Structure 1
Amino acid sequence: MITASNPWRGHDFATMLAVLVAGAATLLSLAGYLCSRLTREARREYTAFRLCRDLSLLSAAAALAVYLWGCLHSLFLADQELAHRCERQKPAGALALVGIRGDFIPLRVVCETSNSHDYSIAIPGYINPTVALLLLLAFFCAVTSVVFHYKQRTTTRKKG
């Protein structure tokens, strides 16, 4: 966030640290759950509903891992280094730099110019598209899981 006192600031360190700690804890929990689904007993109980549910969780975990990787790229860059990168990567036609801001969604570090030709640096270009694609896959797997679960319950009620 850009403030009048310090317009050359990327992501807030405390917020970034909280995102990384919470994200890592969530990722470890998801990994633990998904590993528990690989036991022989759990594999015997697999249905289409459970498979889609677990694929949804796997996709969400992968999206979280890629997002956290992007956060680590930003975490270790000092504000001064960000300013130097902004100067080095300034595109043609961009006027004077007036500040830097860090956005969490989408994950990016934005160099702001006086003529509003803002541009991103520091975060690899594959991070946000990969996260979006994995979250979309997680959503479709979750919806499919709900449909399968509904069909299974409807079929079970008709038999009973």
Structure 2
Amino acid sequence: MASDPWQGHDVAGLITVLFAGAPTLIGLTVYLCSRLTRQARRRNTPFRTWRDVSLAAVAAGIALYLWGLLHILFLEDQEQAEECERQRPEGTPALVGRRGDFIPLRLVCETSDGRDYSVVIPGYINPSLTVLLLLALLSAVASGLLHHKQRTSTRKKG
């Protein structure tokens, strides 16, 4: 039920993201490995290099996100509640709920005074995802600009 204050993450959502993310990660990994062949390296250009850096950052981000999801998936509701109790800060009043957020990825324990705190998901996951997202975005922009520059200089020559 949606009004349940102890709901955590939606299991169907967790499994959907895992089943969509795993093949995506595998596909990206296979593609990036294919870019390491001698033939692919000979045809390398700056915009392709930046594109591959962007895709590698995306792949690393997906792997990290899936790793965080696995931390949640293997904990039963009771274990999640116990983790909330175990990590409750000193002087924090009674727990009144628990919720799961997918963005940022976290399991949040809610207290009666309106404060909350995260448990289960390793603390390095969300900051690392932010850095990887920025790297992917900047690399994609660099790749696009270099590709555009190459295309416009080729048109001027021809």
Q: CA deviation at 1:108?
A: 0.2
2:133 corresponds to? 135
What number of residue pairs does the alignment pair up?
Answer: 158
Which whole-Å CA distance do the structure 1 matches of 2:83 and 2:104 have between them? Answer: 20
Deviation track 1:48-106 (CA, whole Å, cap 9, x = no partner) reads: 01000011000100011011000000111111111111111111332111111000000
Corresponding residue for residue 150 of structure 1? 148
Deviation at 1:42, TM superposition (A): 1.0
Asked if residue 77 in structure 1 is aligned to residue 75 in structure 2, the reply is yes
> CA offset at residue 150 of structure 1?
0.8
TM (norm. structure 1) is: 0.95
Distance 2:51 2:69 in 1: 27
- The CA deviation string for residues 110-158 of structure 1, in whole angstroms up to 9 with x for no partner, is 0011111100000000000011101110100000001100110111111
CA–CA distance in 1 between the matches of 2:113 and 2:30?
Answer: 49
d(CA) in 2 for partners of 1:45, 1:130: 32
How many percent identity over aligned positions? 63
CA distance in 1, matches of 2:50, 2:12: 36
TM-score normalised by length of structure 2: 0.96
Distance in 1 between residues matched to 2:94 and 2:80, nearest whole Å: 15
Q: Which runs of 5 or more structure 1 residues have no equivalent in the other structure? A: none
Within 1, Cα distance between the matches of 2:39 and 2:2? Answer: 56
Cα distance in structure 2, aligned partners of 1:116 and 1:92: 15
> Which structure 2 residue ranges, 5 or more long, are not aligned?
none
Deviations 1:5-54 (A, max 9, x none): x4222211111011111000100110111111112211110000100001
